[in-house]
Amino acid sequence: MSRTRTALLAALALVAGAAGTSMAAVPDDVGAQAIPCTVDYKVQNQWSTGFTAAVTITNNSAAKTSWAVKWSYAGNQQVGNGWNSRITQSGTSVTAANETYNGALATGGSVSFGFNATYSGTNALPTTFTLDGVTCNVDDGGGGGTDPDPGTPGTKVDNPYTGAKVYVNPEWSAKAAAEPGGSRISNQPTGVWLDRIAAIEGVGSGMGLRDHLDEALRQKGSGELAIQLVIYNLPGRDCAALASNGELGPTEIGRYKTEYIDPIAAVLADPKYAGLRIVTTVEIDSLPNLVTNTGSRPTATPQCDVMKANGNYVKGVGYALNKLGDGGNVYNYVDAGHHGWIGWDDNFGASATTFKEAATAEGATVNDVHGFITNTANYSALKENNFTINDSVAGKSVRESKWVDWNRYVDELSFAQAFRNQLVSVGFNSNIGMLIDTSRNGWGGSARPTGPGATTSVDTYVDGGRYDRRLNTGNWCNQSGAGLGERPKASPEPGIDAYVWMKPPGESDGSSSAIPNDEGKGFDRMCDPTYTGNPRNNNNMSGALANAPISGHWFSAQFQQLMQNAYPAL
């Protein structure tokens, strides 16, 4: 809902008397008189407890090298995070000062900034603005002296996937359609990965964030549409997997905020996109690393210890949730690993606690979290039908098998539903929803078991019946034998908002051997088919496909195998 302050504020004021109303005369040539500055203040989105505002200042006086705009609220509005200005508030008074990069304001020049805020009751618009102490008028937009009806404040829907189409990325779709047989799935929705700063504007001749949002508006038509964005550029990113390391060093939290999250937030706040449902998957593979790959654990890495010590994963995720979560049309889903990562007793509760810490850091609250996503860019089977965690064979529990290895979960659906309850128990809202990435967890084809394994031992029982054919649940890179999983679908199971293809099928997880690149991506031996493993996969072979390109690049052989082994079959 858009609201614009339309009253003309000039040096001449309206004066209301008690016995009668008198008005100071307004000269006929008031429009021609010099006005030192004008302010256009718009409420772009408004919901029951908050709003997003955009402000444009035009300077009609001498050129400036710095500036500060001030106004006061009549209600209880509290300004939160902002962009393109440094905003502070004392009581009802607000000051927005220039950033280092936009202090210059020429005569006749304009500068824009925006912010999110909270309120209760009525969101009364400010009536007086000053620029460096001089009173400005408010751009009347050609209107009269009253505010337009703001209408009913909008509220987020419970599930952004319900009743909505989901954005089909034309860049991925073209690559899929160019493959033999690829047209069978090239119309499926996939995530748009913003995995470096340059991706916001578009890498090379590729589409940038605004290009995708504009295309999403075209695809939306007159109905509802959700677009899925992967927010993925933390400092010291993916500390336990070199293949997906990023461009920012462990200490570059400032760049993450100002050069990555802030520009994304500014684009998403554009009222042009207010009608889209924007789903964000926030920083995959980050927070679980702080639980499982630090300290004295055999899986610990020095890089993850660094990120736990400096707090920049927690700070970065909190900042992203805070900046992005206040928008009335943005739905944040935090990455929650997968069952083969945090399904063990010593990881399960600790991970939920770490997620709560991040969701309340850097000004974020649990209200900035709409839900969580599991299995992002991973291969864990959606549902194992041939055995359960409660089965016993030859006097041993399924949990004692080498495959399950004392985990409490054997598939993603049971894990996601249980972990949702755990997240609520530590303080997340009771209506959070879960997403499950099913882009590569079908495990179909001729190798898919049709029934339970032999009951000669707990291992033959589990290994003979499991759909997930990996050598170990710790294997994550370009897995041989994998297939497309369930097609994207809204509300497939209780507590699950959607099955999604957040990882675009056919995009590599990492290169099979070292490949020089300018994307900050290293070589991880888990992507090498000859690698014999480490403690994170119980020293099994990697199970990776050969001849893979660096992460995110098109891997035709994998795409063909995913289609061949799809379950449900294509």
Q: Specify the amino acid at residue 568.
A: P
CA angle 469, 471, 472 (to 5 degrees): 105
Q: What is the DSSP letter of 154?
A: P
Looking at residue 163, its amino acid is: G
Question: Strand 68-72 relative to strand 93-97: parallel, antiparallel, unpaired?
Answer: antiparallel
**Taken in order 554, 560, 563, 565, is the CA torsion positive or negative?**
negative
Say how far apart CA 42 and CA 413 lie, in whole Å: 44
Tell me the torsion sign for CA atoms 379, 385, 389, 391: negative
Distances (CA, A) of 329 to 51, 199, 271: 11, 22, 10
Element (H, E) at 225: strand 225-231
Whole-number Å distance between alpha carbons of 219 and 191: 15
Give yes or no for a contact between 289 and 239, defined as CB atoms under 8 angstroms apart.
yes
CB 269 within 8 A of CB 44: yes
Rounded CA gap, 271 and 251, in Å?
34
The tokens describing 35, both together, are: 């006005």
> Which burial class, exposed, middle or buried, applies to 424 when counting CB atoms under 10 A from its CB (0-12, 13-18, 19+)?
middle
Helix (H, G, I), strand (E, B) or coil at 352: helix
Answer for the pair 449, 466: CB distance below 8 angstroms, yes or no: yes
Given 40, 262, 509, 524, the catalytic residue: 509
Q: Which residues contact 204 (CB under 8 A, 6 or more apart)?
A: none
| End-to-end CA, the chain | 42
CA distance 276 to 293: 37
Q: Which residues contact 247 (CB under 8 A, 6 or more apart)?
A: 196, 197, 233, 519, 520
Catalytic residue among 40, 195, 285, 459: 285
Closest alpha carbon to 191 in 166, 214, 157: 166
Cα 167 to Cα 189: distance, rounded to the nearest angstrom: 5
Of 498, 468, 453, 497, nearest to 567 by C-alpha is 468
Q: Quote the radius of gyration of the chain (alpha carbons, Å).
A: 27
346 in active site: no
Q: Which helix (H) or strand (E) holds 161?
A: none
Q: How many residues does the chain have?
A: 570
Max Cα-Cα span within the chain: 99
Structure tokens at 412: 């993603």
Query: Are the beta carbons of 497 and 161 closer than 8 angstroms?
Result: yes
Q: Which two tokens stand for residue 107?
A: 């005569």
Structure-token pair, residue 478 = 């370009």
The answer to whether residue 497 is catalytic is no
Q: Which residues are catalytic?
A: 285, 509
